[in-house]
Amino acid sequence: MADLRGGAVTIATQLGPMRLIITDRGLADLEIRPKPAKAVSPRTKSAAPNLPANLVKQLQAYADGQRVCFTIPLDLRAGTAFQQVVWRMLQTIPYGETRSYAWVARQIGKPKATRAVGAACGANPVPIVVPCHRVVGSDGSLGGFSGGLALKRRLLALEGQ
């Protein structure tokens, strides 16, 4: 995995096509496409010569309901310092569990930053891997999700919520 050379590819998963952008540091962007898109087989060398096979396997296993954690290098440089702190905290939320925006704000030492936490979740470039879908309102309401609330419900159901 050390030789990631940047590029974009779309892979097929049970959740739908996922468009991945990979840099020399790791996965930088993951977009779940609600509409069918031309997906590239991870075995097609010419389509994605530097796509790490375990990246595809981990995402497909998650979408199949088999994966509970990721060991994928991430490139989150595009985020602000605050966003990066929030995104690191999101990675501590266990598979199959949810936390509130207020909980995240308290954990990062900014208890009044609930709305800013929500904005950071919305700016998350690698949903699923950085599990912003596991963050809900204090009253249990879903809040928002960059892939839409239907997908957030589907991800939570996949994880047994």
DSSP label at residue 66: -
Quick check: 48 and 9 in contact, CB under 8 A?
yes
Helix 81-90 with 114-122: angle, nearest 10 deg: 80
Quick check: 59 and 15 in contact, CB under 8 A?
no
Mapped onto helix, strand or coil, the DSSP state of residue 114 is helix
Q: Distance between CA 83 and CA 95 in Å, rounded? A: 21
> Strand 135-136 to strand 99-100: parallel, antiparallel, or no bridges (unpaired)?
parallel
Kindly name the residue from 132, 135, 151, 156 that is annotated as catalytic.
132
In the residue annotation, 132 being an active-site residue is answered as yes
**Closest by Cα among 149, 131, 132, 128 to 18:** 128
DSSP label at residue 123: T
Token readout for 38 is 């031309």
Residues with a known catalytic role: 132
